[in-house]
Structure 1
Amino acid sequence: MHEGLDFYAPVVNPDKTKPLWGENQWPTEDDLPGFRRAYEKWVDQMKELGFVVMEAMADGLGMTKEEWLDLRAKIDDSFWVMRVIGYPPLKDEADGISCGAHKDYGCLTLLFADPTPKALQVFRHAAKTENLEEAGPGEWINADPIPGCVVCNIGEMWEVSQQEVATAEIRHGYTLGTGIDLDERTVQKHYP
């Protein structure tokens, strides 16, 4: 169970046969003055930061300038998701976690964790696997926030394009996240 507010990249040509075709349901200016303006500004800033981080990742993975420009063209007008998510705490006697463990599906997610210690955790597993149940022994590692820092989470789309050189990790917690993904029309390409 979680509480959340999700917004997606606006759809240019809405088509009811596509998975995402409606408009974002913004709070009215009367209900929440300045919210939409601030949110859209934040998305623009996170996209720019995401481009910088992805270029550094591409450089670190040895992509040529041409490969980076090809990839950049596919994310310039990318599909993005911005979520503010909170997971209600478990009762003290509960056995488990309040947020289902998951991997991010896109290329890159920029996370701003809740300032509470242990609010964001990453699972370090003993064996490489797709899901937590098969991971075997492992442990949750706290990703406590460091002032002025952003957690950059690799998504499964980037993992696939890099042939698992960089992997998406299982995580859970309270976050403000912005996902940077490829343009929805892009056919995934493997880069060396």
Structure 2
Amino acid sequence: MAKPPIENLPIIDISPFLDPECPAALQDLAARDIGYACQQYGFFYVKGHGIPNEKLDQIIALAREFFSLPMEEKEKIKRYDAGGPEGGDGARGYQGMGENITDGKRDVQEAVDFYREWGEDSDAEKNGPPFKTLHGPNLWPEKPEVIKPVYLDYIEKVKAIGKILVRAMGMALELPPSMEGATQESEDREIFVRNTDRCFWVMRLIGYPPLENQVGSREEGDIEEFSCGAHTDYGCLTLLLSDPTPSALQVQLRDGTWMNADPIKGAFVINIGDMIERWTNGVWKSTRHRVIHRGNNYRVSVPFFFEPNFDAVVKPLGECVQMTGGESLYEKTTYGKHLLGKVFGNFI
């Protein structure tokens, strides 16, 4: 008998983790729901996170206002190659239409990229230009005037959600309780929390114009243009906030078919990245997804990538190796090494 179609991805309420008086059983239940979603889909929605809708609407509105500016205004924060005379670091700043490449094709999008700055660590060196890759400062737009303080406040709020989610994921995997003297690599339920305590976060503002060559088929070979080609995210967790545009973000299910992950008011779309797949030895897989914006409006999204520490050591957890037959499927690496490989490869 054919499986019934999936109407939507799981919607998980994380409010039990925000209430110190909440019974532990309700937190355990939410954690199990997250674990199920990670194993079955690699994607889910999160509500009950505590950020008001008014704040979320403001984040989207400010991104839209920036993309509506004249090109000369947007290019004031243009991204430049690391080590070049312009003083860029190869990663931060404005990226023009078609500059982002996925799977060898130019994506129909423009974007602004922000990363955790090295100066956020007390022992980090503050170097001037020319900058090494990723070592430059974030380039904040002059307009809208309030964008920097509003977004800096938002970053702290979504980082707090990320911390809740990775703690719940350690619970969902039923890892041993954390003990005194645990190190960064101790394989207990706090391992993801410890290895994201200096989260090397990334935030993108992305603008998608309507695709000109619109087709009805969902088969990749029949699609002439992508707003963003099919890919997996390379880090830990993605918290996606987008405008209400439907039928743009698509998630590939385990059977290879694609389904829409349409926005839900007040909720984030969450997906796990390559580092979680490595840590869990493939028990939880990083899911391919893509954007095909066939609507007539200008779509805006603001994904926040809650990532491991730059120097975090990522290797399959022993518990997960046992779950998958006793063989480690991934080599040990550091997140920074993986990230730099993606940056130099234009995130292919």
Q: Give the TM-score category using the shorter length.
A: 0.7 to 0.9
Q: 1:176 to 1:93 in 2, by over 3 A?
A: closer
> In structure 1, what is the equivalent of residue 240 of structure 2?
111
Pick from 204, 229, 243: which aligns with 1:83? 204
1:70 offset after TM fit, Å?
3.6
Pick from 113, 133, 156: which aligns with 2:274? 156
Distance 2:155 2:214 in 1: 39
Output aligned runs, 1:162-173, within 5 Å. 162-173=280-291
Deviations 1:8-57 (A, max 9, x none): 001122467853100001123xx322210111111100100011011111
Residue type matched to 2:112 in 1?
A: L
Deviations 1:94-127 (A, max 9, x none): 533321111110110111133111121112253x
Distance 1:14 1:161 in 2: 32
Output aligned runs, 1:23-102, within 5 Å. 23-28=137-142, 31-66=143-178, 67-93=188-214, 95-96=223-224, 97-102=226-231
Distance 1:18 1:184 in 2: 15
Residue type matched to 1:122 in 2?
A: V
Pick from 303, 308, 314: which aligns with 1:177? 303
> In structure 1, what is the equivalent of residue 118 of structure 2?
11
Q: 1:51 to 1:89 in 2, by over 3 A?
A: same
TM-score, normalised on structure 2? 0.48
1:87 offset after TM fit, Å?
2.8
1:58 offset after TM fit, Å?
1.3
Identity of aligned residues (%): 37
Query: What is the root-mean-square deviation of aligned Cα atoms in Å?
Result: 2.0
Q: 1:36 to 1:148 in 2, by over 3 A?
A: same
- The SS at the match of 1:106 is coil
1:65 offset after TM fit, Å?
2.5
Distance 2:282 2:191 in 1: 20
Count of aligned pairs: 179
| Farther off after superposition, 63-72 or 44-53 | 63-72
Distance 1:57 1:21 in 2: 31
Please say if residues 104 and 154 of structure 1, whose CA atoms lie closer than 8 Å, have aligned partners that are also in contact. yes
Structure 2 stretches lacking a partner, 5+ long: 1-106, 120-124, 179-187, 216-222, 292-299, 320-348
> In structure 1, what is the equivalent of residue 324 of structure 2?
none
TM-score, normalised on structure 1? 0.84
1:141 offset after TM fit, Å?
0.5
Distance 2:306 2:233 in 1: 10
1:93 offset after TM fit, Å?
4.7
> In structure 1, what is the equivalent of residue 251 of structure 2?
122
Is 1:189 equivalent to 2:301 in the alignment? no
Higher Rg of the two aligned structures? 2
